[in-house]
Chain A
Amino acid sequence: MSVLRTKKLTKKFGDFKALDGVNIEVNKGEVYGFIGPNGAGKSTTIRVLLGMLKATEGEAEIFGMDAWKDAVEIHKRLAYVPGDVNLWPNLTGGEVIDLFVKLRGGNPSNRRDQLIEKFDLDPSKKCGTYSKGNRQKVALIAALASEADLYILDEPTSGLDPLMERVFQESVAELKKEGKSILLSSHILSEVEKLCDRIGIIRQGQMIETGSLKEMRHLTRTHLLIETKQPIPSLEDFPGVHDVKEKDRALSFQVDTEQLDEVIKHISSYEVVKLESAPPTLEDLFMRHYESGGTGDGGEA
């Protein structure tokens, strides 16, 4: 059952097409990773979904209701964390959290105090004195303390330290266990990898890939750095190997994920003394798209 759905969503600002036929579907109990570089249209999509912006064309529905017309009804069951949290400098963090929870129509649950403790926030300080990370915490706590069915999180961990990032990831995992749906926008692939069931990639206002992480793996390449006792002749000609570079006595290169097994078998016969691998990054995925020279239409490569 889909909780959130956009169909051919298009948003123009004057002549500029910020969104161009975006299709997203988030199902119940699912964590959907929405990734893309800065300015790709992530926040614009989210702001249309929240009824802040009116779609030029296409549909945006949440809980089967229209995101623009039924905004208030939808927002009673939705919690949102903006990427850039700007708060009132003369209110304290505690006051803002209470206000936000109240405005959603809920009551400050005991979750609030637990979350404040978990995120290590001092709620008695004025928002004007908070760092970016602390402002982010205020918005996160307010959202997580609400009993919502759908959570829309726009780059929620920007500004958080690694410790807090982990607290955040635990909280999301908990929500998922409770069967809540989450739309998580980010440009940190490792975070998305850990949390998300399905992923959509947006670039220049268009969705260029959607699917589960597994489905996407084959699109990516793994970085390898190896050192062997015997030199490997003409590795660059081996299928699936790209970008071979020699570094001192080691070789650094990329391997198409589906060719990884073959390549490892091949190089192991040259007596490997050192092997380092780095996971595919979001950047690689994009690079891949630029190399193939197209906007692609998902899952065919």
Chain B
Amino acid sequence: MTAIIEKADGAAGRLSEAVEAVESHLHPKPSWDVADHPMPTGREEIWRFTPISRIRPLLEATPSDARLVWEETLPEGVTSRAVTEQEARTISTEAPVDRVSSLAASLSGGARLVDVPAEAELTQPVSIVLRGTGELVWGHTVVRIGHHARATVVLRHEGSARYGTKLDVIVGEGALVNFVTLQDWADDTVHGGQTSVLVGRDAQVRTVTVSLGGSLVRLTETARFAGPGGSLEQFGLYFVDAGQHIEHRLFVDHNAPQTHSQVDYRGALQGKGAHSVWVGDVLIRKVAEQISTYEANKNLVLTDGCRADSVPNLEIQTGQIEGAGHSSTTGRFDDEQLFYLQSRGIAPDEARRLVVRGFFAAIIAKIGVPELEEHLMTAIEAELAKSVAA
């Protein structure tokens, strides 16, 4: 709050900026200092859906030198190198917004920086596979995409780990980026952290976040704009099995005019204790005139005993916008859809499979990497085989 008073004491013209700095109670104050992110009790707004006991390894400041196995396939011109913790802080999009990512930033001993040069026209994706070998790992990754570059980046997580992470994606002016992360973990993995995307002026950014595996996955995904004209599409897909907790917390900060955002996350749940959480916050600041935003979350509950929490929030500080909306639906199979398909001779399990595949098809089609799209369809088939055909 001190910062606000200081700014307000400046030029009168800064008053609006000062008011702008008042963050909603929904969004914790970013800080590099772990002490600013105390151990949660589970009653805090941002932690109330999370089973604290299960994510505790990522909340305690236990140092670890372990790393995930990092396998990269970099198209020509793309580089990757280690940077110090100090440099990582300087180039990061924003400071950590929760305890997990602040611990990741301070205990990871620096970051891995991937650079896509300005004006690069990549015809192959930047592919990074991160594989856990059963240890506690803190990680910080920064992906920088230069101005007017065109790139697809795929970050794929596999194996077993307790993994606390901070991931920064900085997209330069006018760049065209497709950023895909895949949580394809083994069943015992606990993965928590923060992904922060900065959308450059007039840049077009699409993120696709796919969470399939792991015991607990809790990702906070924040996005801001570096200037006007940027466009952000965020797609998500999750498949939650018995006992699994998968949580996606999105925050889109419309802090610049003429920006556009669209969020579409879809999940399927099956089995006892399957729990998904989706929180979608959109803040439209006073300065963000002529913006448009729409966020949607859809959950398909396949069996009894599942729980899907879905909380969209829209905070609007200016009326001078093109449009803003959200929707959230959670339901079982649509009986009318199943009846229609079955009335054409299609057996009930096949009909349900068709509906689920169709439900996810629109998201998978956004990935733009054919072999990954195929992999996901196969993974979804395998998940479905557990419940739908039963």
Whether both chains belong to one complex is answered with: no
Interface residues of A (CB under 8 A from B): none
